[in-house]
Amino acid sequence: MLRPSLMPTTVHLYDLKPPDRPRWVSGDQYPRALVRSLLSPWRGRPPGGLAKVTTNLGLGLSQIGQPFVLHSQPDLPPAGSLVGILHGPHDQVRRVAGSTRCVTGVGVLDFPDQWPTMFADTQAVFHLQACQWAADYYRPYFGDHLRIWPVGIETERHRPRPDVTKEFDFLVYDKLRWPAEHPEPDLLERTLAEIKRRNLKHMVIGYGRYPKGRENSYHALLARSRAVLFLCENETQGLAYNEALSMDIPLLAWDPGRWLDPNRHQHGLSNCPATSVPYFDGRCGEKFADLAHLPSTLDLFLERQRSGCYRPREFVLENFDLGQCAQKYVRLLNQARDGI
């Protein structure tokens, strides 16, 4: 056992929640919160990406033996603490970051101009983005304060399942959110037509619309699938597709190469590079930029899959080990506290 003087400093993590306010009558937020808590086990809503970042970082910190406290309210930490603010309303972030040196992100800002004076207003030292393309848009505002940090993946939970029979050639993952922004209309329908034309067995699953609302139903379908057809405009990390790769399931991914979030126009970012698969190499599968390239890319994908060319789990183990990603996060917190 470590002597008290050698015990690691506790990390204070903040996943800040806006205060619950009355909806119909004064004080009704309290019984509503109780009802939500009681119904939670049966509602089956899959966690969002930011919630999974918090969960997976906590798992990684536990794996490396790093003590941490998770705060949902802007309670001030003890002096000299290691402080990371993952997510939260700006007024609450300001309260914590204004009192102590800390690291913010990956979920504090949606666009860099939402708070361009954050480093002047607070004692924040670094701001995190999950990948290179997203960081590129923050760098003109935050300069050397920018750091890139992706969260780890539960690779032991998301393992290959050789005991499960493969029923589908493709699990089609539909995370298309902004079809009005697509350079080509009817992307999903036209992609499925190409799959059907080849008599490839498939199933479609929608982001946030998993069978029975359960996240484990997505993982069960992955286990029954030989590959994933990933349809999404942009990702900053893409935890769902990372989990597929962790299960050694290769991806055929649509990657339009542009940032398609319609809110970008309000921030002067109308024509910007981006990607749907920010963490990806030749071991993971193939990408196609438009429907004209889908048939040839699909042929190449199927050929390489049959030849055993893909090693997606190897890629994930190299890049998204829970403990290694947590260690990198703690190093950033130490550098922020110590002014390195």
Q: Is the backbone of residue 243 left (phi > 0), alpha (psi -120 to 50) or beta?
A: alpha
Residues in contact with 196: Cβ distance below 8 Å, sequence separation at least 6, in sequence order: 202
Residues in contact with 247: Cβ distance below 8 Å, sequence separation at least 6, in sequence order: 158, 159, 160, 161, 219, 222, 223, 313
Tens-place pLDDT, residues 114-165: 999 999 999 999 999 999 999 999 999 999 999 999 999 999 999 999 999 9
E strand residue ranges, 88-190:
102-107, 124-129, 146-148, 170-175
Q: CATH for 4-152+321-338?
A: 3.40.50
Domain spans, the chain: 4-152+321-338, 170-319
How many helices (DSSP H) and strands (DSSP E) are in the chain?
11, 11
CA triple 208-154-336, angle to 5 deg:
100
Q: Is the backbone of residue 186 left (phi > 0), alpha (psi -120 to 50) or beta?
A: left
Total Cβ atoms within 10 A of residue 230:
26
Token pair 């506290």 in the structure block, residue? 337
CA distance 171 to 192: 11
Tens-place pLDDT, residues 229-284: 999 999 999 999 999 999 999 999 999 999 999 999 999 888 899 999 999 999 99
Residues in contact with 299: Cβ distance below 8 Å, sequence separation at least 6, in sequence order: none
Architecture of domain 170-319: 3-Layer(aba) Sandwich (3.40)
Tens-place pLDDT, residues 87-126: 999 999 999 999 999 999 999 999 999 999 999 999 999 9
Q: What is the pTM of this model?
A: 0.90
The DSSP secondary-structure symbol of 93 reads: H
Residue 42 sits at φ, ψ, to 5 deg, of -105, -10
Residue 22 has pLDDT above 70, yes or no: no
CA distance 207 to 201: 20
CA distance 159 to 163: 11
